[in-house]
Amino acid sequence: MIKAQEALNMARNLGTQAADYATNFVEEHGVALKRTQSAARFQGARVVITGAGSGLGKAVARLIVAEGGRVALWGQHKTNIQEVADELNEQYGTASHPVAFPFRVDVSQAPAVNRTAQKTIDALGGVNVVINNAGIISGRLFRELDDRSIRQTFAVNSMALFWVTKAFLNELEKHRRAHIVNVASIAGYVSVARQTDYSASKCAAVGFTNALRAELKSEHSSVKTLLVCPYYIDTGMFSGVDAGLLRRAMRMLSTEKVADAIVDAVANGKERLFVPKVGELGTLLAALPVSLADRLLDVMHANDAMAHFVGKGETKPAE
């Protein structure tokens, strides 16, 4: 325990990459480490999280509430978000001061988003962080995709970012410090077989976030953006995925690890986050000549990763 802690401390002094190595070492050997950050970094924060009924959204909500924030849990399934809200309020809130508020909403529908946004602002007394986390994946070959599935994937993974961001932007700009967090994917940079709709929708999320960041900066806005590009996460959304040779370099990520990285990135004002950090090499792969990039993906069997994809059994927003 002591040696692992010392290794982590030394690695932090040597830089981020060494720190990541030490952290992975500690996690792989089952050593529990305490967070070194303040336990109340989100004191006073009022946060909207889409896809908050389970998985990554739920994990992020728990971390934010544990550090002093209040959250609006957006999701399509009333039972899921109500259970999460009850759990968080029981542990961190009181009858007179709840910390979690559930809102049933389909983020792909702009009118519903606008109505729920105002209710959310009223319930929280304002909003200064928006986390666009809801996402879906079909995992089918292009020739097998029906029109409805394609539209639904873009509606949730891409268009919802526009509707939710537009609904809250004016409110966010009332605050001295505010954040828009868009959970995209490494697939927004590196595309593989059986992800034509998913990858394209995540490319849109990457482009939207980058352009929005440029606009906000040019306007000297107080709102910052954070683009999150994770690898496969063990929420169940990617059940059945086999990363081939990539498993040696990048294991399927735990939901808690990704949630922790997102919360840290928001607290530290980061603007782009790859999880794991080595995933940033995907931007270099995308810049290589096509023949070389394709050869590397073939060697790593990356295009076979989705061959046995199961997912959650149906195409719906991840909650």
- List active site positions: 198
SS3 content of the chain, % helix, strand, coil (to 5): 50, 15, 35
- Hey, is 8 helix, strand or coil? helix
In angstroms, rounded to a whole number, what is the distance separating the alpha carbons of residues 186 and 258? 13
DSSP string, 224-281: EEEEEEE--BTTTTTTT---GGGGGT-PPBPHHHHHHHHHHHHHTT-SEEEESGGGGH
HSE-up (13 A, CA, CB side) for residue 280: 7
Q: Which tokens go with 137?
A: 């994946």
Strands of the 223-230 sheet, one edge to the other: 100-104, 70-75, 46-50, 129-132, 178-183, 223-230, 272-275
Residues 6+ apart with CB under 8 A from 29: 4
Residue 138: count other Cβ atoms within 10 Å of its Cβ. Answer: 22
Q: Which tokens go with 145?
A: 């995709």
Do 42 and 68 form a contact (C-beta atoms < 8 A)? yes
Burial readout 104-120 (b: 16 or more C-beta within 10 A, e: otherwise): bbbbbebeebeebbeeb
